[in-house]
Amino acid sequence: MIIIYIPSIYTGAKIVRDRPFSSYLSSRGGWSWEIFIKSFVISLFVVLIFTAYDFAFTGSRFNSSLPIYIIILTILIAPFQCFAEELLFRGFLMQTVGSWICVPIVAIVIQAIIFAYLHSYNLIALLSIVCTGTIFGLIAWYSKGLEISTAMHSANNILSALTISLSTTITYGIQRK
């Protein structure tokens, strides 16, 4: 369902014609695959280290009964979902609010709060998502594009989904039986 954001924002940009669609992706003249791939590899490595630490010191165990097609679908679909969220929250919402307010940190915090609100988790997880949304917003603002935040978001979501799916017990206060 989230993936509908991509054609919706594209179509809206074409109808309104106030700016090109690519400006929602980057102020550097369009999407840079080089930046995205480098950022994704680095982010994946960092998240893997934290995930390995989590498994090593929390007593989590792997549950290998997950069908391989679920693993493949997760790896293929998660980046599109993350791109759609980044496009909506950091590409469209943060830039639009920022153009109204002209104070970047306010726009960054507003989009982070809305980003967290649309994730239905407990209070601690929501605070974590506000922090993550703020970090992604700062990165998108500082780097002048969505490539790095999308790469980080994708690496996090892929490994989080696989960790939850492949483990019998995970951290963050969630217990699986």
Name the residue ranges covered by the structural domains of the chain.
Answer: 31-166
C-alpha 32/C-alpha 145 separation (Å) is 9
Please state whether 17 falls in left (phi above 0), alpha (psi between -120 and 50) or beta: left
pLDDT digits (tens, 9 = 90+) for 79-116: 999 999 999 999 999 998 998 998 999 999 999 999 99
Mean pLDDT score, 2-19? 81
Quick check: 13 and 126 in contact, CB under 8 A?
Answer: no
Quick check: 153 and 36 in contact, CB under 8 A?
Answer: no
Q: What pLDDT, on the 0 to 100 scale, is given for residue 39? A: 97
pLDDT digits (tens, 9 = 90+) for 40-80: 999 999 999 988 887 777 766 676 677 888 889 889 999 99
Quick check: 36 and 151 in contact, CB under 8 A?
Answer: yes
pLDDT digits (tens, 9 = 90+) for 114-139: 999 988 778 888 999 999 999 999 99
Chain position carrying tokens 């590899």: 41
The percent helix, strand, coil of the chain (3-state, each to 5) is 75, 0, 20
**What DSSP designation does 2 have?**
G
Distances (CA, A) of 152 to 42, 108, 135: 9, 17, 10
In this prediction the pTM is 0.85
C-alpha 9/C-alpha 84 separation (Å) is 10
What's phi and psi for 64, nearest 5 deg?
Answer: -85, 15
DSSP per position, 105-142: HHHHHHHHHHHHHTS---HHHHHHHHHHHHHHHHHHHH
Q: Identify which has the larger pLDDT, 33 or 61.
A: 33
